[in-house]
Amino acid sequence: MEVYKFVMPEVIFGNGSIKQVGESCIRLGAQKILIVTDPGVVESGWLELVVQSCHEVGLSYSVFSDLTTNPKDFEVTKGLAHYLNAECDAILGVGGGSAIDVAKAIAILATNGGDIGDYEGVDKISMPLPPLVMVATTAGSGSEVSQFSIILDSEHNKKLTIISKSLVPDIAIIDPETLRTKSALLTATTGLDVLTHGIESYLSIAATPLTDVHAENAILLVAKYLRQSVASKLNEEAKKNMAMASLQAGLAFSNAILGAVHGMSHAIGGKFLLPHGDVNGILLPHVMEFNYISAPDKFARIVTLLSGEEKRWSDSGQDAVELVKQLAHDIGAPKRLSELGLTKQDAKKISADAIEDACMITNPRDITEQDIERLFIQAL
C-alpha cells in the first residue's frame, strides 16, 4: 500500500452562511481583502451580502470583477496589480470556478512572483499564499475546496492546470441559497460537471477510501436531486443537496484528481472557450464506455448509486452509461460536441493538447492520442 494524503479547507455550509464571510476573513488575520468576483455575481446581488458582512466586522476591501469564463492569464495579471495597488493582505473569491480560480492565481503571484505559466503542473508553488477564503455560488466547480486552479494561457489558447496543496483555501463557504439565481441551463450543465467530478475521481487510479465516500455520495445526490434542481429555482431541498454534491465531489477530485473527461475538456475549453460543464456532460458517457474495462466493480456501484436502487446491481458498463445519458436528456443538456460548433477537423489539435493534461495521469485506463481522437469524433 502506498501512502496517501487528504487535505481540505475548513468548511462552512448552509443557507445564510455567506454572512459569515467577514468574520471568517478576520479570523485569519485579514485587514484588507481583495474580493475577486464576476459580473454575474455582482448583478445577482450576492456581492452586496458579502460587502455588508465585511462592513459589519470593520474589514476593509477592494473589489476586482474584471474577469470572464475560462479565465485568462492577463485577467490574473490585472487582478494582481489591483491587489498590490490596494495594499490587500488576503483574498476572497466569490463565484463559480472562474472567480475562485482567478483568486487563487492572484494569490500565487502575490507571494511567489513570476508569471502564472511558471506554476503549471503539480507542486510548483514554494511560498505560502496569503489567507484565502472562498464563497461558492455555483454547485459546480468544487474549486472552493480543491488543490486546482485552471487558467487560460491566452497566447497559446491552452489551459494551464495548476495543482498544489497550497491552493486549498483556508475556509470555504457554501451557501445553497446562492443557487437560486442560476438559470436552468447553467444548473443543468454545472450539475453534470459535479457528476463528472464524482465519477472521474471515483474511478481515478489515485482514489482512496477517504475520497470514495465523498465521490459515492456526490454521485448519489446528483442522481437524486439534479432533475428537481433544474426544474425549479425555489426547490430548497434540491439546491441544498446539489450544493452538498458539489462540495463532496470537490473533496473527492481535489484529492484523487480526475481523468480523461477533464483532460479532454481542458483542451477543448482552451482552444474554443466553450463552457466547461457543457463539454464535460457531453464527453462523460463516451469516456465512461472507454474506461469501463478498468473497473467493472466500481461501475456496478455507480449503477446502484445512479439508479438509487440499493438492490440494483449490474456490472455492465452500458447500464451506467445509459443512466448518465438519461439524466443528461431529462435536464435538457447538450448532447453532442457538434452542437457547440466543433467539427472533425478539430480532433487532432484537441488530442495533442489533451494527452499532455495533468488529469490524464489518473485516468483508470491507459489512453493514447488515437483513443482521444476517436472519443472526440464519437462525441461530435
Q: To the nearest whole angstrom, how small is the minimum distance from the Cβ of residue 16 to its own copies?
A: 6
Q: Which stretch binds its own copies (CB under 8 A): 10-18, 43-51, 88-96, 266-274?
A: 10-18
Nearest distance from residue 292's CB to its own copies, in Å?
22
At 141, list the grid cell: 466547480
127 sits near its own copies (criterion: CB under 8 A) = no
Cβ count within 10 A of residue 134? 28
Give the single-character DSSP code of 128. P
> Which residue among 26, 185, 210, 361 contacts its own copies (CB under 8 A)?
210
Q: How far is the CB of 354 from its own copies (least distance, A)?
A: 31
**Residues in contact with its own copies, shown as a per-residue x/- string from 250 to 289 under the rule CB under 8 A:** ----------------------------------------
Min. distance of Cβ 8 from its own copies in angstroms?
Answer: 6
| Ramachandran sector of residue 164 (left: φ over 0; alpha: ψ -120 to 50; beta: rest) | beta
User: Of 326, 325, 303, 329, which Cα lies nearest the Cα of 316?
Assistant: 303
Contact status: 16 vs its own copies (CB under 8 A): yes
Counting every residue written for the chain, the total comes to: 380
Give the side-chain half-sphere CA count within 13 A for 38. 21
Q: Enumerate residues 18-57 that contact its own copies by CB under 8 A.
A: 20
* Smallest separation, CB 9 to its own copies (Å): 9
Q: How far is the CB of 303 from its own copies (least distance, A)?
A: 13
- Where in 278-337 is the site for its own copies (CB under 8 A)? 310-311
Binds its own copies by CB under 8 A, chosen from 111, 153, 213, 272: 213
Between CA 123 and CA 121 the distance in angstroms is 7
Cell of 335: 448532447
Read off the amino acid at residue 5.
K
Q: Which of 65, 138, 141, 248 binds its own copies (CB under 8 A)?
A: 248
Q: Half-sphere exposure of 25 toward its Cβ, with a 13 Å CA cutoff?
A: 33
Contact between 197 and its own copies (CB under 8 A)? no
CA–CA dist 255, 369 (Å, integer):
26
Contact, 204 vs 259, CB < 8 A? yes
In the range 218-247, which residues lie near its own copies by CB under 8 A?
Answer: 236, 240, 244, 247
SS3 138: coil
Q: What residues line the site for its own copies (CB under 8 A)?
A: 1-8, 10-17, 20, 165, 176, 208-210, 213-214, 216-217, 236, 240, 244, 247-248, 310-311
